[in-house]
C-alpha cells in the first residue's frame, strides 16, 4: 500500500474506498492515529 503517501485522514479514507474496501473498515483504519506498521498487527 502507499499508506505513507496518504498523509491526511480524508485522503486515506477516500483511497481505501476507491480500492473497494468497505466503508466501515475504511473509516476505522483511515482515521487511526497509528501508522501502517502498527495497524497491520505484525508481531
What is the tens place of the pLDDT at every residue in 1-43? 687 888 899 999 999 999 999 999 999 989 988 888 888 877 6
Count up the domains in the chain and report the number.
Answer: 1
Question: Phi/psi at 42 (nearest 5 deg)?
Answer: -80, 135
State the pLDDT at residue 8: 92
Distance CA 18, CA 43 (A): 29
State the pLDDT at residue 1: 62
State the pLDDT at residue 18: 96
The residue segments making up the domain with residue 34 are 3-39
Predicted structure pTM score: 0.76
Cell of 12: 486515506
Rounded to 10°, the helix 23-30/9-18 angle is 150
Amino acid at each position: 500500500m502507499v499508506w505513507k503517501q496518504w498523509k491526511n485522514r480524508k485522503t486515506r479514507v477516500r483511497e481505501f474506498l476507491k480500492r473497494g474496501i468497505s466503508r466501515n473498515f475504511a473509516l476505522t483504519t483511515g482515521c487511526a492515529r497509528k501508522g501502517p506498521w502498527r495497524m497491520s498487527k505484525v508481531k
